[in-house]
Amino acid sequence: MKKTLAYLGERALLTLISVVLLFPIAWMFLTAFKQPRDAYSLSLNFEPTLQNFVTVFSDPWNLGSMVMNSVIVATVTVLIAVPCAALAAYSFSRFRVKGRKFLFFLILSTQFIPAVVIVLPFFLMFRQLDMLDTRLALIIVNLAIVTPFVIWMIKGFIDAIPTDSEEAAMIDGASRLRVIKDIVMPMAAPGIMTSSIFCFILTWNEFLFALILSRRDAVTLPVGLVSFRTERGDLWELMSAAGVMITVPIFIMALFIQKHFTRGMTAGAVK
Amino acid sequence: MAEVRLVDIEKKYGNFLAVPKQSLTIHDGEFLVLLGPSGCGKTTTMRMIAGLEDITSGDIMIKGERINDKPPKDRDIAMVFQNYGLYPHMTVRQNIEYPLKLRGMDKASRKDRVMETAEKVELDALLERRPSELSGGQRQRVALARAIVRTPSIFLMDEPLSNLDAKLRVTMRAELKHLHHELGVTTVYVTHDQMEAMTLASRVAVMREGRIVQLDTPKKIYAEPADLFVAGFIGSPSMNLIDGAVKGGVFRTDGVEVPVDLGDRDGVVLGIRPEELEITQDTDAAIGGKLYALELTGESTLVTLRNGPTSVCARGHADFEADIDSPCHLVPKDGARFHLFDRASGERLR
């Protein structure tokens, strides 16, 4: 009896947490398919429409260019940050050089600085370089934000890889770079995948720098959402449709590479 | 000719001296075992030969060439690791093939060589499996196959059998011995298991605190241990080491009186192997005490008797039976060898 009550209590608590967490997302998905007149209604009885998705991609909202900006900024950031971070993480993990710990702390400490403190210096710098409202500026800023985080994440994964396989490869005839390419990276692949997703999500959702550094040409999706707050009020149905556009790619990506999270690649390397 | 010479090599980690200055020559085709307890510097010595550790001073010569600054890949060595060190994302075939691929061998030759090697270590049926799908013994064989596939000049083996169960260890030991006989490659083998050392080695280097304390054939090390440490380390069960004094040509202590060829002296340790003692009914026998333990090992029974602080073990017949605490007497067999050591320095006296 006591066991059943504990079980029911546990289920009730989990359900409550799930409802609290999922309600906003469910509300956003539903609202994206509602007519403007139903946007504030909590009723599930409404006439669904795809018009909101058509509207957000047409004038004056032009969500298409924002999607393109977000895709380019996030993809290029990941493509540059992850390989660089992987090499840096390998060095921090394997080479015992003087000042290694301090340097690692220094890199991590960049994450302790609130973004709002450095956004103005970035703005001034890019204005000086005539790079405001460019994707390149956003990529540079995002690289500065995510690279330390990705180094820290990948280092954790590389630390967990036994060095025996690497040493075996070196004796087998591989150079250090070849060892990294043939042995370390495949073994760290699940970790690198995970880090890449985090890196993509961080960049994809980045708001503050994109808001300050872009005006018209380089506006990304999170900033684009703000434009649905108009003099006519908040256009929730359009904002939700745009919100779905932001959420779905991340959701699909996470589902697609979920298998990498669950299985490590080091099984069988050592005893 | 793949002779390995370590000339005055030394290894320090900061202020910690891991391997003090010493020299060692490993002859061409020899199976040299570095034997010692954990932390004695045997693996460090091997890793220096492999190029996985820098040496602080001294020279390493392979085939007469100084190779101190050569990376591991250019030393023409192969190494088998204690934890196998396999490539988990590759199949058995790819694992064995990898060293050949790195050396630019063409695909067809690689395929033939992999098959030939896999057959040698009985892995030919498992070539498409990944290491995670293999047993410990099979994984160790993959590591061996990867080492022998490119016929290096020197094999380095770092406790390759220590992760296997006792039965498999005996089987693999025989396989290693046969492989060395077949290939004749100079082999350096690290172990803390004296049985492995005795059965495999052409010569054994017994190490303690980074130093080689005795370097000789297994037979000689067993028969004439250089000091107390070697005497206690080699042999299973280990040699009886009895504290006492020599007076008038007789070694004496509680329950032990053995005539020896040594002048009067205190602080002497008498060493005698259990297999060189036999149980007797003679109450005036050289060694007497109360029966402390009987351990049946299968082919024999280990009989331990005690007299005061003195404890002596003998290997008796498998069917020997007696009550614990009953009086028991031992006598050295004909031709039994007594070893005498200085208690303070541990040095061999006779």
Q: Are B320 and B175 in the same domain?
A: no
Chain centroid, CA A32 distance in Å: 23
B296 and B319 in one domain? yes
Select the residue from B83, B96, B149, B161 to test the A interface by mutation, using most A Cβ atoms within 10 A. Answer: B83
**Per the CB < 8 Å rule, is A268 touching B130?**
yes
Which residue range(s) make up the domain with B326? 241-342
| pLDDT band with cut points at 50, 70 and 90 for residue B43 | very high
pLDDT for A38: 83
Mean pLDDT of B132-142: 90
Distance from CA of A160 to the nearest CA of B (A): 14
**How, if at all, do strands B186-191 and B31-35 pair?**
parallel
> Where a domain ends, among B232, B250, B272?
B232
* B89 and B22 both lie in a single domain: yes
Q: Report chain B residues whose CB lies below 8 A from the CB of A269.
A: 83-88, 131
B139 contacts on A by Cβ (under 8 Å): 268, 271
Distance from C-alpha of B236 to C-alpha of B213, rounded to nearest angstrom: 19
**All structural domains of chain A with their residue ranges:** 1-61+227-243, 63-223
Q: B257 CB contacts (<8 Å, ≥6 apart)?
A: B250, B251, B286
Q: 3-class SS at B219?
A: helix
Structure tokens that stand for A116 in this block: 């709002």
Structure tokens at B191: 């172990």
If you measure CA to CA, which chain B residue comes closest to A173?
Answer: B73
Mean pLDDT of A95-113: 89
Mean pLDDT across the stretch B234-252?
Answer: 91
**B54 in the same domain as B91:** yes
Quote the radius of gyration of chain A (alpha carbons, Å): 23
What does the pLDDT average to over A245-255? 84
**At B290, which CATH number?**
2.40.50.140
Q: What is the pLDDT of residue A98?
A: 87
Report the DSSP beta bridge partners of residue A146: none
- Mean pLDDT, range B156-182, rounded to an integer: 87
Four-CA torsion B283, B289, B292, B298, nearest 10 degrees: -50
Of B322, B332, B342, B335, whose CA–CA distance to B256 is shortest?
Answer: B332
Average pLDDT of A31-49?
A: 83
Span B29-55, mean pLDDT? Answer: 93
The predicted-structure confidence for B280-314, as pLDDT tens digits, reads as follows: 888 788 898 999 999 999 889 999 999 888 899 99
The reply to whether B31 and B110 lie within a common domain is yes
Task: Please say which residue of B203, B232, B261 terminates a domain.
Answer: B232
Is the pLDDT score of B327 beyond 60? yes
For residue A60, whether the previous peptide bond is cis, meaning omega lies within 30 degrees of 0, is yes
Can you give the length of chain A in residues?
271
**SS3 assignment, position B139:** helix
Helix, strand, coil in percent for chain A, rounding step 5: 75, 0, 25
pLDDT at position A261 is: 58
More confident: B320 or A255: B320
Amino acid symbol at B169: R
Assess whether B36 and B158 both reside in one domain: yes
B196 and B327 part of one domain: no
Residues of A in contact with B82 (CB under 8 A): 164, 271
Specify the pLDDT at position B231. 94
Distance of CA A5 to CAs A2, A14, A17, A18, A19, Å?
A: 5, 14, 18, 20, 21
Q: What is the DSSP string of A125-194?
A: HHHHTT-TT-HHHHHHHHHHHHHHHHHHHHHHHHHTS-THHHHHHHHHT--HHHHIIIIIHHHHHHHHHH
Rounded Cα distance between B120 and B114, Å, is 10
Angle at B114 between CA B109 and CA B115, to 5 degrees: 100
**Are the C-beta atoms of residues A150 and A195 closer than 8 Å to each other?**
yes
CATH match of A63-223 with 1.10.3720.10: yes
Sign of CA dihedral B260, B262, B263, B268: negative
Q: Looking at residue A219, what is its pLDDT? A: 93
B161 touches chain A (CB under 8 A): no
Q: Is the pLDDT of residue A264 over 50?
A: no
Query: Touching check for A97 and chain B: CB below 8 Å?
Result: no
Say yes or no for a CB contact (<8 Å) between B102 and A178: yes
- The verdict on B46 and B182 lying in the same domain is yes
- Tally the domains of chain B: 2
Choose the final residue of a domain: B188, B206, B232: B232
Q: Would an 8 Å CB–CB cutoff place A173 in contact with chain B?
A: yes
Q: What pLDDT score was predicted for residue B183?
A: 87
Region A9-14: mean pLDDT is: 94
pLDDT reading at A271 higher than 60: no
State chain B's mean pLDDT as an integer. Answer: 91
Mean pLDDT over residues B218-246, rounded?
A: 92
pLDDT at B137: 85
Interface A–B counts its CB contacts (< 8 A) at 93
Q: Check CB contact under 8 Å for A162 and B134.
A: no
Interface test with A, best of B49, B82, B84 (most A CBs within 10 A): B84
| pLDDT digit string, tens, across residues A177-189 | 999 999 999 999 8
- Is the pLDDT score of B44 beyond 50? yes
Q: Are residues B78 and B137 in the same domain?
A: yes
B84 shares contact with chain A (CB less than 8 Å): yes
Question: How far apart are alpha carbons A52 and A32 in whole angstroms?
Answer: 7
Quick: pLDDT tens for A209-229.
999 999 889 999 999 888 888
**In the predicted model, what is the mean pLDDT of residues B88-95?**
94
Residue among B72, B85, B98 minimizing CB distance to A270? B85
- pLDDT for residue B192 is more than 50: yes
Query: Quick check: A256 pLDDT over 80?
Result: no
